[in-house]
Amino acid sequence: MERLSVLYASALFDLAMEQNAVDDFLNQAILVRDSLQDEDCRRFLEHPHISAAEKHEFFRKGFAGQIHEDILGFLYLVADKSRIAYLLPALTTLIGVIERHKRKVTAKVLSAAPYDENQAEALRGMLSEKLDKHVELDLKVDPSVIGGPYIYVDGYYVDWTIKRRLRDLTFSMKELRFS
């Protein structure tokens, strides 16, 4: 499934580049992906007794005028070929390809307390400088980390949480006891 999703995403990316519409394709792919993640929507699209024509109508009513005709054509294609299962993975892959092309990454940050605007901007600036890329932040709060951040970005992670440090300390203490 991954191979075909990559092929679809690659073809859409090529169209975006040819038409100098990379930003439009990115925003529209996000719109479609986010809209189609709804459980009822997925059930409708994956239902084997709903015809491709009905799915075309669903896409047309939902997205006409909001998305590029090539993206709409892609939606029609996956409906015609009964490949709805490839739709979300292909859109997600396309979004990733365009973001890499634009040197844009999303850093997932987990902390015990929410970041204020100044802290978030400082972190974004530091990560952008270190990675030499535009960094978006996906900030989550989890009090169980106690303090310090956990950051995952571009395949790398940094775990400065107190929870991890306590776990490491516990492990070290157990090793000392058995030495």
Q: What is the pLDDT of residues 113-126, one digit of tens each?
A: 999 999 999 999 99
* Residue 151, token pair as written in the block: 């950051």
pLDDT in tens, 26-82: 999 999 999 999 999 989 999 999 999 999 999 999 998 999 999 999 999 999 999
Residue 156 φ/ψ, nearest 5 degrees: -120, 155
- At 178 the pLDDT is 66
Query: What would the two tokens of residue 79 be?
Result: 């409906």
Give the CA radius of gyration of the chain.
21
Structure tokens that stand for 171 in this block: 């492990």
Show Cβ contacts of residue 118 under 8 Å, excluding neighbours closer than 6 positions. none
139-159 as b/e: b if 16+ CB within 10 A: eeeeeebeebbbbebeeeeeb
How high is the pLDDT of residue 173?
85
Percent of the chain with pLDDT over 70: 98
Residue 26: exposed, middle, or buried by beta-carbon count in 10 A (0-12, 13-18, 19+)? buried
Cα–Cα nearest to 91, from 5, 1, 4: 5
Please report the pLDDT score of residue 2 as a whole number. 85
Domains of the chain: 2-100 (1.10.520.20), 103-178 (3.40.30)
Question: Using CA atoms, how far apart are residues 164 and 172, in angstroms rounded to an integer?
Answer: 12
- What pLDDT is attached to residue 19? 96
Q: How far apart are CA 166 and CA 97, in angstroms?
A: 38
Q: Which two tokens stand for residue 68?
A: 């590029």
Indicate the average pLDDT of the chain.
Answer: 93
